[in-house]
Amino acid sequence: MPERSESDSRKLLRRLRDVLATPARGQDRLDSITHLIADSMKTQVCSIYLFRDPETLELCATEGLKKGAVHQTRMKLGEGLVGRVARSGMPVNTADAPSEKGFRYMPETGEEIYSSFLGVPIQRVGEKLGVLVVQSRIARSFSEDEIEALEVVAMVLAEMTELGAFGGDGFEAMHKQPVLFRGGTGQEGAAEGRVWLHEPRVVVTNPVADDPLTEIDRIREAVGVLRVSVDDLLAAESLDKEQKQVLEAYRMFAHSRGWLRRMEEDIQRGLSAEAAVEKEQSAARARMEQVPDAYLRDRLHDLDDLSNRLLRILTGQGRDTGATMPDNPILVARNIGPAELLEYGRKLKGVVLEEGSVGSHAAIVARALAIPMVIHAARITNEALNGDQILVDGDQGIVHLRPDDTVARSFRDKIAMQAEAQKRYAAFRDLPATTKDGVTVALHMNAGLMADLPSLAGSGAEGVGLFRTELQFLIRNQMPKREELAQLYARVMDAAKGLPVAFRTLDIGSDKVLPYMKPNDEPNPAMGWRAIRVGLDKPGVLRMQLQALIRAARGRPLAVMFPFVAEHSEFVEARSAMLRELHREKSLGHAVPEKIEIGAMLETPSLAYAPAEFFAMADFISIGGNDLKQFFFAADRENERVRRRYDTLNLSFLSFVGQIVARCAQAGTRLSFCGEDAGRPIEALALAAMGLRVLSMRPASVGPVKALLRRVDLSEARAVIEAARAAGEASARPRLTDWLAGLPEG
């Protein structure tokens, strides 16, 4: 069969554009398109399959197959050759379709008489929209030119689907349908608002171009601008070795002749410069999903980012689109750094990220700002538009985009119930968390920013059980100065108005890497060079921070704790560093704290078995529940597959906590529990029943925890836990839940 010329390809796209420009029903347009493509490609069949939901494809139009199959034939993602194209994002080209592995025969279509098959994905920058198929009776493979031509047509269909060209007749325009995203909890809470995209999507309104020479000039000029911008970034003197390596990869792609050549070939076939960029970007995304090697996937992400830069140069659509931020903005982004998130501040009602982690810098800032956050909401940046209605359920890790009225009403009911509960908690805000049997549990709050401190008075917390000091390091591009830190820590103590504040020294490493420190490629960073290990190996940084804390106290009492201490000798060394700085400051004539308390975070099981000297030496110990639990169960808390598998109320873990309580009691050392579980009422109850008398949590959790503790008898709760242990049960949760259900409302 003769190969089709480039002019034929452009002619097809012009005819396609004319069809799309003519007023018509969505179904009529699709029918016209399949007829037009089959005629141009000289095939007996052309069919368009579109996704009805993320897992289901539906035959929506056809030329050549039985018309009765339209809107009746459906298949799952990965099912048959069409499903294979949709899953992989790559073409399938075969001369003998029935003999292909995975072929599915659908008798209602009448396709048994067609031997050859070519299917290409209809996709747009990561969005899988459907599959475009042509078939012929003659057993033959389609040429490379024909494959390229059909991919170009599929690209135009994707853009027109994006613009709502097939609206009506059951075909909702893109970005108008309700969509549910299931992700993970970054920060609990619920919020309703309007989407505010951190990086607004580029909208291509002209996928087809008549003048390829003009479009090629445009793409070459834009690529030239892109190359200069990358070269300028590389010329910066402040770059470290790793940053240069990343930008070198950028430059390699930006100067790739193959990338530019492929885009120029797409333009020769009739696409506009913008559509050609998106076609190659979609192809890169499809390749990305097939690559098992993480390093290569990151390099393909580089190409993805470069494509977005190139689109912004071509369209002039920068980050600042002129759109006005809504009154109740919910930030939607692929990922975001802590400094960028802080710039938005308390204007935001919530945050939704495609990436992120529960321990990420952004999640820490979201907790500080007390705004709900959902992470791992896959592809939401492709689906959401500025101004879309959005509901964020941080408790369940669920996001409703453009919800229907029923979902929105139910969600508002949930928010109203939470608000009503907060009013009830406010009634005993200033009362102690004293149980029915007379045990008082001190409830403290966690903090990491000055923005947290206003919550101290309103929450009913009795102090700050953990002030994370690393955020001031993470949100800067260079190491903060000692005096800057001293001023900040002083403001924290001023804001606490005499209530106790426990400052945790710099906890970096693992998922918290400073932008100006050389990152370490470690196979398991959570168990690697982090926290006190970094402090002891970088004594200059530790000294500077300890000096800042001493000066901030201005003679007031000071409590400092060292994170991730794994053995007694580490605490001895860190404590000695603090005592040396106290002596030095005193010798310089500076005011020193009237009282100094030096403590440790118990986050590794090893420290629970430290010598008695450790427990006697430490002025206080805080159990870092998040890390301790992940190491106790050997379950990475960033891994959704395993972290939910293990229960804090597992009796083995509660027994272990009980042993720590006993060792601290024997030594007369004050003990607290800090972490997510301290702020969950039933978990807080169990921890208190095991003997903990200080719990530190996010401010919003103080009320619910206090409400529960004030209506229970701890001795009864302990008896319920022991009954579960005696019965050989794995967790105390079922029995505690049943016991609480039988208590009178308090």
309, 337, 679 from 293: Cα distances, Å: 25, 25, 39
Strand partners, 392: 191, 399
Helices (H), 49-143: 80-88
Neighbour-count burial of 265, counting CB atoms closer than 10 A to its CB (0-12 exposed, 13-18 middle, 19+ buried): middle
Annotated catalytic residue within 361, 376, 400, 444: 361
Q: d(Cα 519, Cα 534) in Å, to the nearest integer?
A: 12
Q: Rounded CA gap, 697 and 706, in Å?
A: 12
Task: Tell me the C-alpha to C-alpha distance, in Å, between residue 719 and each of 664, 712, 735, 736.
Answer: 22, 12, 10, 10
The DSSP secondary-structure symbol of 698 reads -
C-alpha distances (whole Å) from 596 to each of 46, 127, 447, 464, 572 are 79, 57, 20, 16, 16
User: Could you tell me the strand order of the sheet in which 116-124 lies?
Assistant: 74-76, 56-63, 45-53, 127-136, 116-124, 92-94
The neighbour count for residue 337, using CB atoms within 10 Å, is: 15
CA distance 57 to 559: 61
Beta-bridged to residue 185, according to DSSP, are 374
In terms of Cβ atoms closer than 10 Å to its own Cβ (0-12, 13-18, 19+), residue 556 is middle
Q: How many CA atoms lie within 13 A of 188 on its CB side?
A: 11
Q: For residue 301, indicate whether it is catalytic.
A: no
Distance, CA of 218 to CA of 720 (rounded, Å) = 73
Q: Which residues contact 372 (CB under 8 A, 6 or more apart)?
A: 187, 188, 189, 190, 191, 349, 350, 351, 366, 392, 393, 394
- Report whether 665 contacts 735 (CB < 8 A): no
CA angle 586, 587, 589 (to 5 degrees): 65
- Options 46, 60, 664, 674, the catalytic residue: 674
How many CB atoms within 10 Å of residue 65? 24
| Structure token digits, residue 501 | 């504040």
Rounded CA-CA distance 641/399 in Å is 20
Q: Residue 154 in contact with residue 141, Cβ under 8 Å?
A: no
Is residue 457 within 8 Å of residue 697, measured between CB atoms? no
Residue at 157: amino acid letter: L
Distance of alpha carbon 124 from alpha carbon 155, whole angstroms: 7
Rounded Cα–Cα distance for residues 478 and 571 (Å):
28
Sign (positive/negative) of CA torsion 273, 134, 44, 159?
A: negative
Cα separation, 554 vs 561, in Å, equals 19
CA 432 to CA 34: how far, in whole Å? 72
Beta bridge partners of 501: 464
Half-sphere exposure of 684 (CA within 13 A, CB side): 31
Q: By CB neighbour count within 10 A (0-12 exposed, 13-18 middle, 19+ buried), where does 229 fall?
A: middle
Q: Is 674 among the residues known to form the active site? A: yes
* 621 contacts 602 by C-beta, under 8 angstroms: yes
> Could you tell me the two tokens for 612?
């008695």
How far is the C-alpha of 498 from the C-alpha of 504, rounded, in Å?
A: 18
Residues annotated as catalytic are 361, 674
